[in-house]
Amino acid sequence: MSYPLQIVVCGSIVPDPLQTLEPVTGPNGPSLKNEMLLPAVLDPWAGHALFEAAHLAGKRPGSKVWLVSLGPKAKLQQVMMTVAQKVPFELVALDGPASGFSDSFETAAALAAAIEGIPGLDRAKLLLFGGWESASRGTGSTLQMVGERLGIGEQFQGVDEITVRDDGTFTVLERIEGGRHQVSVCAAPPAVLGWATGNLPEPKNNPQVGMANMRTVMPALQRAKAAPVANTGLRFESVSLPKQQRETRIEKNMPVEEMAREIVAWIGEE
């Protein structure tokens, strides 16, 4: 008998990475120049998590996928017009900042509260998905703190594959150092999985899926709760673009230890 799952995907919207992003300091702290005018997309790592969730739910009758997203309502609507055509899900929207300068601790608090408010959510069947990394919050800390706030101790980061058996046990393929994978076996949900690239390509647009999703997406956006992220106690001394520098030197048969020493010395000069 198939074991149904309830999969919640945390996914933020980010500026299109093909755009030129210029940090500036304003009255409310750091931001991006003309941030509200930049075209937005679903965070690429969150996209992998959403596609993997939909694929897993599609193989297990009775399963359901929610996408919980925090961002400006107008931007969320623009992005959902595209994302909704990819895979079936139910949107839980929060109207708030999606800037990469937002405090991940307070962002996690808002996301956890939204997840706890999902009607009929059964934690015994819950898998919390998200990106291992983020195009806006590269520390990967937000998803971990959401899991902790929900009381989920089983957490895996850098996941490439999950295999769920009919009795509810599942195996996770997780990246570790040295280009290898660690295989973990869990007896049952709940668990947190921060996805790397996964194994699935981006699904093609399906207008029928999009029409079905938009029946719930638009009402979800209309009733999106305000979720201000105050960045309490967070202060940035300065923000700037990375300095571009390229120095090429060709070496043959150089020991790895010597390479590492030179890299560390070069970083120390910055």
Is the pLDDT at 1 greater than 60? The verdict is: no
E-strand stretches of 143-202: 155-164, 170-176, 180-186, 191-195
Mean of pLDDT values over 160-178: 87
Could you tell me if residue 257 is inside a domain?
A: no
For residue 146, what are its two tokens? 């959401």
pLDDT in tens, 130-159: 888 777 765 668 888 889 999 998 998 888
- The DSSP secondary structure of 51-88, one letter per residue, reads HHHHHHHHTSTT-EEEEEEEE-HHHHHHHHHHHTTTS-
76 belongs to a structural domain: yes
CATH code of the domain containing 81: 3.40.50.620
Give yes or no for residue 18 having a pLDDT over 60: yes
Give 3-state DSSP helix, strand, coil % of the chain, rounded to 5. 30, 25, 40
Note if the bond before 228 is cis, omega within 30 degrees.
no
Residue-level pLDDT at 67 = 92
Beta bridge partners of 161: 173
Residue 256 in any domain: the answer is no
pLDDT range class, residue 232, cuts 50, 70, 90: low
pLDDT of 65 reads 92
Can you give the length of the chain in residues? 270
CA distance 116 to 217: 19
Q: At which residue do the structure tokens 């899991």 appear?
A: 147
Residue 269: in which H helix or E strand, if any? Answer: helix 256-269
Contacts of 226 (CB under 8 A, 6+ apart): 94, 95, 96
For residue 167, what are the contacts with CB-CB under 8 A and spacing of at least 6? 3
Q: Determine the 3-state secondary structure of 123 from DSSP.
A: helix
Q: Is 249 part of any domain?
A: no
Contact predicate 130/9, CB 8 Å: yes
pLDDT at 235 over 70: no
Inter-residue contact 106 to 232 (CB < 8 Å): yes
Total domains in the chain come to 1
Cα distance between residue 97 and residue 139, in whole Å: 18
**pLDDT at residue 37 in the model:** 73
Q: What is the pLDDT of residues 183-200, one digit of tens each?
A: 999 888 889 998 888 778
For position 128, what pLDDT does the model report?
93
**Rounded Cα distance, 101 and 32, in Å:** 9
| Residue range 66-89: mean pLDDT, rounded | 87
Q: Per the domain annotation, does 117 fall within a domain?
A: yes
Structural domain of 38: 6-226
pLDDT, the chain, mean: 83
Domain assignment present for 58: yes
| Mean pLDDT, residues 169-175 | 89
Q: What is the pTM assigned to this prediction?
A: 0.80
- Lowest mean pLDDT across 28-32, 95-99, 224-228: 28-32
Task: Please check whether residue 51 lies inside any domain of the structure.
Answer: yes
Indicate the pairing of strand 170-176 with strand 155-164.
antiparallel
Among 27-41, 81-95, 111-125, 218-232, which is the least confidently predicted range? 27-41
Digit-coded pLDDT (tens) for 104-133: 788 888 889 999 988 988 888 899 998 887
Structural domain contains residue 206: yes
What mean pLDDT comes out for the span 12-32?
A: 73
